[in-house]
Structure 1
Amino acid sequence: MSQSVSGQGESLVSGSSLYDVLVIGGGNAALCAALMAREAGASVLLLESAPREWRGGNSQHTRNLRCMHDAPQDVLVDAYPEEEYWQDLLKVTGGITNEKLARMVIRSTATCRDWMRKHGVNFQNPLSGTLHVARTNAFFMGGGKALVNAYYRSAERLGVHIRYDSPVDAIELDGGRFIAARSGKERIEARSCVLAAGGFESNREWLREAWGQNERGEWPADNFLIRGTRFNQGVLLRYMLDAGADAIGDPSQSHCVAIDARAPLYDGGICTRIDCVSLGVVVNRDAQRFYDEGEDFWPKRYAIWGRLVAQQPGQIAYSIIDAKSVGRFMPPVFPGTQADTLPELAGKLGLDPAAFTRTVEDYNAACRIGTFDHTVLDDCHTEGLAVSKTHWARPIDTGPFFGYALRPGITFTYLGLKVDEHAAVHFNGMPSDNLFVAGEMMAGNVLGKGYTAGVGMSIGTAFGRIAGDRAAAAAKQQATLTGGERNAA
């Protein structure tokens, strides 16, 4: 195959505009696919809908990759074997996952880091306050933005053509075969294609449709903040579903985190998360607790809280701690609301002081304090409450007191396209031979609900690499069958 391309996406030859592989998307999964296809000798065009300064999708907001390892490995301590990883995933998804595909993802994380380093990604030892994940997660030096930039530099160096501000509106299909993509009035042909354009979390109307109206007459989605990119409108996903691609996942399920209610509407990223939930109590706008704050370690359970808050009146809740908890969690970007007494804190938060004080005092009286240790599932718990706290339960009795208003923060949605182990898009149960999908557009195959830290990057990396490799092979096969010599665009 000809490799007559430049790192800046500028053609060195004239001739056909037919690429071997078209990658639609600009985040981690798309970049992994583009790099793998290019390494296999294919000519590659990557279309990123965002402008260059906002490239990278949700990947720019990430921090780490959840990794299986049977012994200590460079930045990872101890061991995190396949079965434990699988059990963690099984627990957060409630069994709504494809075990075959999930275990593929898990196993791939044991060996992918050397490939990532080859493309410029660096890892660091976990920092203090990184949520009990030194054993399970490898942290990116410089975070997700550095990872995305490294991949783009590597792609340019290898000759991947990259175009920004290039959203794809439609896909031309012949049965289950990819023919071309349409971006505005432009038609872009390729021998194979990888779809990696994200979910629909930035599409407010689709979120409203997915969540509907609740019994209080509210449209919960109207109060959601979008923790991730503003560019994931789900246009390509909707097109593929309307075109008959097999779907997977519940449209109301997502990576949904309780974040600071003062966070921006889009692109707040990881720094908007409130990490002190397990150290105190959480109340709704009626000053009532509604879920066990100490159910499990925060990295395993933090992503359930966005959905829990979404189900509360007004889609708002308040995380309450006292002075004893300060310094034990990752500090948020915005300072908490502070007060010297519980009634004063209630007033500042807009809660009924009597109801709030009663809730906290009832909780305090129910605490059975053993040996507090936030690094293990300790024996500090409550007794006699309608909503128990099973670990880390200590009275909230030492001023000053702090409160953080919470809103649901959507990172990415789980409705997607059904795949097999080759990352192929399916139509009526049959896999396409030249159309593949990776990242958030297929994450619902592994994540039916729930989330655990770093697994989104695991899915995107695993299936991005598979999709890129398969797309290159499909393009090569088609070129052989047609007997046509092609030039890179």
Structure 2
Amino acid sequence: MRRLKAPPASVDVLIIGGGNAALCAAIAARRGGANVVVVEGAPKFYRGGNTRHTRNMRCAHDAATDHLTGPYTEDEFWEDLYRVTEGNTDEQLARFMISRSKDMLGWIAEQGVRFQPSIGGTLSLGRTNSFFLGGGRAMLNTLYRTAENLGVEVFYDTPVTKLEIDGTAFKSATVSVNGKPHVIKANAVVAAAGGFEANIEWLKEGWGETAENFLIRGTPYNRGDVLRMMLDNGAEPIGDPTQCHAVAIDARAPKFDGGIVTRLDCVVFGIVVNKNAERFYDEGEDFWPKRYAVWGRLVAAQPDQIAHIIFDAKSINMFMPSLFPPIQADTIEELAGKLDLPVEALCTTMNEFNEAVQPGVFCHTELDDCRTEGLDPPKSHWARRIDQPPYYAFPVRPGITFTYLGTRVDRDARVQMVSGGPAENIYAAGEIMAGNVLGKGYAAGIGMTIGSVFGRIAGERAAKHARE
């Protein structure tokens, strides 16, 4: 077994974590003149946390670009965020993040990251979100290359096992290297080690046994160890432990690390039923990027945390499929058998839905007039009769991306302490502080915005503190 090199015993700025937020912090701190070390708990192949599975980020901008089709104002961004969080956000901090997001596309591009035209279909993100050329892993690899070229030292398989915090001041972190403890002292620290979504026992503290049926879309290394240490050392918590970015993903996905290829974007084209073959929510409530993140929680509330998306031949080519093929049948009765659903109940649900569909002009890029009438729950848009065989279905379970319970921060990304006021030299960025902005709900690309904006700020402020 190859022995790992130990990090230096002291450094200006210590970055804990290895994803987008951590790398933005490391690059900003290094460009700010600090000596920077990154400790990543995962092996090199799995470095980067959930950034590996991302595709895009959402930033305010004033005009169209070569990869964005039009402007996306700060006010519109705020309205979208307010809507999906239902007001559960720190408005001042959120508006600050949005204003700072306007510079991020240029800053990220300066670090070597390239963008591509937006994907079409149900995503409807061509104007609002910038897609990374090559996806999240390519973006991440570029940031690592830039950081290392600047002189940032990165250490993999190096989890933090202890934080020494004296009152409001960070003193050192103990990491595990080759199974042995190693202490790193630093003038400033940036905690960017993700949430606790891969820690099923912690999830069960809020969700109960329901969490046993959750699938974790991202890295198995985000267990919340650093977050727990921060809270135990007096960091002020923010957020609800049951709030998270949760989507409906293919139930055949692995328990951990299934990634973006297990997500399903076809809800708007059909109906969703639980194990009793009953519909339970409006599948056409709004554009998919604004509502896809409600479906994880919706499925979590269903019996056995399982549901099925059902549609017909008219829609099979209108969305990006899962890694797994859809279940197919020539009749609804046959499909019910393959899904282990009560046949009579599914036929009744399907007949009631088809009879409730009103005439309209179908257009998946607009809030069209295809709706149901007299049905509870309704389908407000994109409602078409499901009557053209073959019929298809995808089984889905709750897919947890990241959790919202975290550490409270200010505009400088400084961690706020329970004892009152900000920490002297402790900063946080990314999922570990996302609950400041995301108290509830989600809209596509916001997680990367939070990580990039506050990662850059944390790195700049940490470097300034270290120099002083």
Query: In structure 1, what residue type is equivalent to 2:347?
Result: T
Query: Is the Cα–Cα contact under 8 Å of residues 122 and 288 in structure 2 kept in the other structure?
Result: no
Residue 338 of structure 2 corresponds to residue 342 of structure 1: no
Which whole-Å deviations, capped at 9, do the CAs of 1:8-62 have from their partners, x for residues lacking one?
A: 9999xxxx83210000000000000000000011000100000001101000100
Q: Which runs of 5+ in 2 are unaligned?
A: none
Q: Given the alignment, which residue of 447, 456, 462 partners 1:471?
A: 462
Contact 1:9 1:161 in 2 (8 A): no
1:22–1:194 CA contact under 8 A, matched in 2 = yes
Greater than 6 Å deviation, 4+ residue runs:
8-11
Matches within 5 A, 1:200-219: 200-212=196-208, 219=209
Q: Equivalent residue for 1:292?
A: 282
Partner of 1:314: 304
Question: 96-105 or 125-134, which moves further after superposition?
Answer: 125-134
The alignment partner of 1:368 has SS state of coil
Q: Distance in 2 between matches of 1:108 and 1:440?
A: 18
Give the one of 189, 196, 217 matched to 2:192. 196
Distance in structure 1 (CA, Å) of the matches to 2:91 and 2:350: 42
TM-score of the two chains, using structure 1 as the length reference: 0.92
1:64-463 correspondence to structure 2 within 5 Å: 64-129=56-121, 131-184=123-176, 185-212=181-208, 219-428=209-418, 429-463=420-454
Letter in 1 for 2:237: A
Structure 2 counterpart of 1:113, one-letter code: L
CA distance in 1, matches of 2:104, 2:164: 33
Q: Does the Cα contact within 8 Å between 2:13 and 2:29 map onto a contact in 1?
A: yes
Alignment-derived partner of residue 50 in structure 1: 42
Q: Percent identity?
A: 57
8 Å contact kept, 1:27–1:148: yes
- Residue pair 1:250, 1:414 contacting (<8 A) in 2 also: yes
Which AA in structure 1 matches 2:460? Answer: D
Structure 1: give runs of 5+ residues left out of the alignment: 1-7, 213-218, 478-489
CA contact (8 A) 2:122 2:265 kept: no
TM-superposed deviation, 1:399: 0.5
Query: How far off its partner does 1:332 sit?
Result: 1.8
Distance 1:168 1:332 in 2: 35
Once the two structures are TM-superposed, the CA of residue 130 in structure 1 deviates from its matched residue by 6.3
Partner of 1:486: none
Query: Is 2:122–2:365's contact at 8 Å kept on the other side of the alignment?
Result: no
Helix, strand or coil for the counterpart of 2:146? helix
Deviations 1:356-394 (A, max 9, x none): 010010011111121111110011111111211111111
Distance in 1 (alpha carbons) for counterparts of 2:63 and 2:250: 37
| Displacement after TM superposition at 1:73 (Å) | 2.1
Q: 1:47-97: CA deviations, max 9, x gaps?
A: 000000110100010000112112112311111111111111101101000
What is the aligned-residue RMSD (CA, Å)? Answer: 1.4
Match of 1:481 in 2: none
